[in-house]
Amino acid sequence: MFNQSEVKRFIMKYGNKVIFPNFANKLTSTIVISGLGLIVTPAPIKVVFFNWLIDVFNLNSGVPVTLPDVSSGTADFTYGLTLVAIGLVFNLIRYWFEFKTNERESAVKLEHRKKLLSDVRKALSVDGLTNRQFRKSTEYAQIKKYLSADTIKAVEGEHTKGPGSSEIIRIVVGEARGSGVNPFKNSVLDELADIEIEWNLI
């Protein structure tokens, strides 16, 4: 079910959170605080509190069955420890599911970035075509979805009918980036920058 590398990554990422749990989750904090309350509260106070709860239940239940009062010997330390353990285990399970979800999202993001990088590289490698041929090419079709509206207008506009594909690519990426114009959609440019920083591939 779990391989060794997954367990290792999980321990490294969430070990500190498990040892020092984050009780932002309300269910976890409620269970653990209730358990600690049972452990640290003096027995007489627990007896009074539980007897009050039982009296309220017996008065409002409307059923003939009544619960007996508790005595000081009934206030059990074990229940408190059990609640604390349940809270901590629940917290651990929650972190495990969060870890697996993040891992899946990272894998999807990585595949998307690889596809983006591949499409951009293919478009950059095209040469020797006229503008019209380049605009009909599969490389341009693949990269077009990443381009900003202004860049598409520049590539497909009247003033770029003559140049070959190498000049079109310079308009799309090289000169546009150098002059501070964003040839891509903002989110795509951010992703390309991340790829360049992380992997130094562009």
Which pLDDT tens digits describe the chain residue by residue (202 residues)? 566 666 666 666 655 555 555 555 677 777 777 777 766 666 666 666 667 777 777 766 666 445 555 555 544 677 777 878 888 888 778 778 887 887 887 777 777 767 776 777 777 666 666 667 777 777 777 777 777 776 777 667 655 555 556 566 666 655 445 555 556 666 665 666 555 544 444 4
CA distance 25 to 93: 12
Q: What pLDDT, on a 0 to 100 scale, did the predictor assign at position 202?
A: 40
Q: What pLDDT, on a 0 to 100 scale, did the predictor assign at position 69?
A: 52
Q: What pLDDT, on a 0 to 100 scale, did the predictor assign at position 95?
A: 79
**pTM beyond 0.85:** no
Q: At what angle do helices 77-125 and 4-19 cross, to 10 degrees?
A: 130
In the chain, the N- to C-terminal Cα span, in Å, equals 38
Contact status, residue 151 vs residue 176, Cβ threshold 8 Å: yes
